[in-house]
A and B are shown apart, each in its own frame.
Chain A
Amino acid sequence: MNPFSSGTRLRDMIRAIRSCKTAAEERAVVRKECAAIRAAISENDQDYRHRNLAKLMFIHMLGYPTHFGQMECLKLIASSGFPEKRIGYLGLMLLLDERQEVLMLVTNSLKQDLNHSNQYIIGLALCALGNICSAEMARDLAPEVERLLQFRDPNIRKKAALCSIRIIKKVPDLAENFINPAASLLREKHHGVLITGIQLCTDLCKVSSEALEYFREKCTEGLVKTLKDMANSPYAPEYDIAGITDPFLHIRLLKLLRILGQGDADASDCMNDILAQVATKIESNKNAGNAILYECVGTIMSIEDNGGLRVLAINILGRFLSNRDNNIRYVALNMLMKAITVDAQAVQRHRATILECVKDSDASIRKKALDLVYLLVNESNVKPLTKELIEYLEASDQEFKGVLTAKICSLVEKFSPEKIWYIDQMLKVLSEAGNFVKDEVWHALIVVISNASDLHGYSVRALYRAFQTSAEQETLVRVAVWCIGEYGDMLVNNVGMLDIEEPITVSASLSIESSVAGSLLGSLSASLKIFVTESDAVDALEVSIKRHNSDLTTKAMALIALLKLSSRFPSCSERIKDIILQNKRSFVLELQQRSIEFNCILQKHQNIRSALVERMPVLDEATFSGRRAGSLPTSVSTSTGTARNLPNGIAKPAAAPVADLLDLSSDDAPAPSSSGGDFLQDLLGVDLSPASAPPGTSQPPKAGTDVLLDLLSIGTSPPAQSSSSASNILSSIQDDKASLANLNGLASLTSLSPNATSASPAPMMDLLDGFGPSPQRKEENGPAYPSLVAYESSTLRMTFNISKQPGNPQTTLIQAIFTNLSPNVYNDFLFQAAVPKFLQLHLDPASSNTLPASGNGSITQSMKVTNSQHGKKSLVMRIRIAYKINNKDVLEEGQVSNFPRDL
């Protein structure tokens, strides 16, 4: 029997699948077929084995699992007939992979078939081996393949050559055995052997420098001659494509010559003539010819310099670039990208054409051209090129904007000649495509603005103007909101006007035509010279809070900005209070909490408010860029992990609480890195260091004050230039304690209690009104930790609630909670634990010894662990849990090593 003559059932299946109207129907048909095939397999049905396998291949192609057919492949391969073997090997290549152990079983069959008397069977085995061979098989069967490289039939030799490639890739040690046979393949006339032989040599050169030297020495001339013969050969109907003999072989030859010529002047010299001949003689009106020219240009660009050839190659690329065929233009751009490292000057000459390609209607070409432009930019041409790109940003379609903005931002950042230019360009990008800008980019912009003290006024005014026209661009709004909060007074009073600036007027906010993206300096239709008032600035913030599509980060930033403005604009403070109060009813916990807290500050703490909302100290560029390079991607998980601690997040590194308060639960909110404060938290955190705390007011940290720390988001390590006394305290204290020290400054500032030392927690409490008693209760227990799942099996879960006694860092209180995950009741439940010598364990009695089924209740048991090496070693515990299910003993054991580190 044979799969082709007995195709009816296979055809029936395909028809049945084709007639299916829905995916569900198709699944049903496939399920039925698979069931039938499984049955046939288990009955060891000989007659239909190949047909079943053919069906399985079809089913596999549709994307259904077919692993149960793997053994069938092996059986078919082991059978004697050619048709069976054929389909068996095909199945092997499609259904199996080199990582499966089943594959090892086939090694022996392969070995036999490689030595078979029928050359077609040898061919099958070689093909399968070439496609799926693993390193072990490569070692076992390499001698056979090596022998077959000299087989009498060229069709076997060519397959053996490709099989050898797989072998040397899997086991590079074997490469040297293949060097000589590969070199002799290069002298063949048969195209199949020649093309595969050349590929084998190419891959040998890649894995072995010895092979590269050998081929360079012995074969370069021969290869050049082969190429010459082929280029000049008469019409060969079997290999002719568009008047060229075997373009595939041409291309492979050129590829190998490239490797041989690279870094070797003699070899490069040797091939100069033929390359020139190919580059000039091949006709470029058909795809095949262009493919060769393209490869030839690549070779010329890679081999050692020959001025004349390079000019020829660049000219070909120029011709390609102006071709009307998009395929040709695409490859031209692709090659120019490689050429730029060799001859940047020549590529720059095509700059105009390349810029045109950025605006092409074809996405592939646009992207390639943009990549190329990106490489072309340098200090001298950054301004005109950026201008072009930004102009195009307005016209480009949505999906391309993301890539384009990323590139522009990166260019502007990299090559910006001056800060004002940088700020201008970024503003244009933000107002045009702010929604596509990544977080790091607008963070960086804020850092730059913060550092450019002479441009604060300019920036905030420009941002305010941009905000009027492009309020739908989220990131623009965020930067604007931040700047208005920080430098709102400069906006209103026009502080630090630059000569080039037009005074900002209200008419600017009314007339759309004075688009900021168009020209910041453009003359405004300034008939009314009314300056921005304080209430205009508050308007802007109110708009961004109330706009329905503002996201949480923006709204939260706007709230902070309002708080800051409340002290800068006393005339608006009532209005600001109203806006803040409106958010008290926000459904978003974050905003609600923030609004309540800020309201407290406004109402009850007038005396500290102005110190609280001081302008942020200059953000440190170096820290920020370092952080950006390092910890951004990994930090997200940290933030979600600690966020749960929010209301009483105390015993964390100093950086964490601040981030918590501002951690806006969205993934894109940057999170604390181990190095200290995070950008966003610097950004939003109120820094207390400039507060005029009298020196020497430090007092022992109290747990209660930490709540305030959380609440007010006190910046972590204030920059060195803050000259206040508070920073003196800070400098003497370790980083992670810095914020506590800050706080002490604050506590004394409040001066609500005459005896600051003893009563310091008390005045803080009123800040908490509005968020319930729970945090207060917790804080008396000392620092809190998130509860952790210490042990979990399919039947049982043990959760640890960890707490510390205040003033006793060595001792950890653990409350273990056991939950039954199975449907059976556990009786005689007994929990035992053991700890290493440096720990002391005290176990209290358990709340019960019966654990109800399916989590309908739990057992709790308290323990106390004292760590004699506190700070050096962390907790670890071995546990054993014994219980009975229906009077049958069950024992579970495990180790708990996921305790927080600082216990």
Chain B
Amino acid sequence: MGIRFILMVNKQGQTRLAQYYEWLTLEEGRALEGEIVRKCLARNEQQCSFVEHRNYKIVYRRYASLFFLVGVDNDENELAILEFIHLLVETMDRHFGNVCELDIMFHLEKAHFMLEEMVMNGCIVETSKANILTPVQLLEKTS
């Protein structure tokens, strides 16, 4: 398993989406999110996108007001995860059209569905945006 969790956090540090691939209790999750957000949001643009925290490596990237933070194992390819974050954002962009924080807040389930099509049990399932979005769009049509 490579990816341990995916977080989306706004620049005030509020969690907008959290998906864990290993079980943490509510309190552990909250504490972890707090620590990571404090660590990552304090860094500037020039610094590298990787932070080691506890036994995780956090790969993060900022898009406008939203931070995407991915916790991975230590032997995961950091650059690939960075590329994956970009793919995730592009996919959401294609669906929402210039995705923003509010899109994710008000369509939390949809964001989760998209993520589910991309990552399962901490592994990447699909890398084609069309394949990822087909089931999501199908769902919209039927409802």
Contacts and interface: CB of A to CB of B under 8 A. Distances in A.
A123 B139 CA distance: 13
Given A4-B140, A63-B29, A65-B26, A291 B126 contact: no
B80 A251 contact: yes
Interface in B33-61: 33, 43, 46-52
Contacts of A97: 23
A182 interface: no
A14 B80 CA distance: 34
6 contacts: A83-B143, A90-B112, A251-B80, A290-B79, A363-B47, A364-B48
Q: How large is the interface on A (under 10, 10 to 19, 20 to 34, 35 or more residues)?
A: 35 or more
Interface string B112-143: 11001000110111111111000100111011
Q: How large is the interface on B (under 10, 10 to 19, 20 to 34, 35 or more residues)?
A: 35 or more
B17 A329 contact: no
B120 A130 contact: yes
A2 interface: yes
A239 B87 CA distance: 10
A367 interface: yes
A195 B127 contact: yes
B21 A131 contact: yes
A165 B113 contact: no
Interface string A158-183: 11001101100100000000000000
Interface in B74-91: 77-80, 82-84, 87
Interface of B: 1, 15-19, 21, 23, 26, 29-30, 33, 43, 46-52, 77-80, 82-84, 87, 105-110, 112-113, 116, 120-121, 123-131, 135, 138-140, 142-143
How would you classify the secondary structure of chain A's contact residues: helix, strand, loop or mixed?
helix
Interface of A: 2-5, 7, 10-11, 14, 18, 54, 57-58, 60-65, 82-83, 86-87, 90, 94, 97-99, 120, 123, 127, 130-131, 155, 158-159, 162-163, 165-166, 169, 191-192, 195-196, 199, 238-239, 241, 246-249, 251-252, 287-288, 290-291, 294-295, 298, 326-331, 334, 361-365, 367
Contacts of A5: 143
A94 B83 CA distance: 25
A704 B139 CA distance: 86
A165 B140 contact: no
Given A63-B26, A123-B135, 6 more contacts: A54-B109, A155-B131, A192-B125, A326-B48, A327-B79, A364-B48
Contacts of B130: 238
Contacts of A328: 79
A205 to B, nearest CB: 14
Contacts of A64: 26
Contact of A57 (B108, B127, B128): B108
Contacts of B126: 158, 191-192, 195
Most chain A C-beta atoms within 10 Å of own C-beta, residue among B17, B29, B127, B140? B127
Contacts of B16: 61
A295 B120 contact: no
A287 B123 contact: no
Given A14-B105, A123-B135, A327-B50, A196 B82 contact: no
B80 A162 contact: no
Contacts of A367: 52
A196 B1 CA distance: 12
A326 B107 CA distance: 35
B48 A162 contact: no
Contacts of A249: 127
A247 B125 CA distance: 14
Contacts of A18: 105
Contacts of B49: 327
A120 B138 contact: yes
A162 B131 CA distance: 17
Contacts of A120: 135, 138
Given A61-B108, A162-B121, A329 B135 contact: no
B121 A166 contact: yes
A701 to B, nearest CB: 52
Contacts of B121: 130-131, 162-163, 165-166
B84 to A, nearest CB: 7
Contact of A364 (B1, B52, B112, B143): B52
Contact of A330 (B26, B78, B124): B78
Contacts of B82: 287, 291, 327
Contacts of A365: 47-48
Contacts of B50: 327, 330, 364
B77 A195 contact: no
A88 B49 CA distance: 35
Contact of A86 (B21, B79, B139): B139
B105 A251 contact: no
B28 to A, nearest CB: 11
B106 A14 contact: yes
B108 A192 contact: no
Most chain A C-beta atoms within 10 Å of own C-beta, residue among B18, B112, B121? B121
A127 B127 contact: no
A364 B51 contact: yes
Contacts of A290: 79
A608 to B, nearest CB: 55
A191 B105 CA distance: 31
B77 A131 contact: no
Contacts of B30: 63
B29 to A, nearest CB: 7
Nearest to A18: B105
Contact of A159 (B46, B48, B120, B129): B120
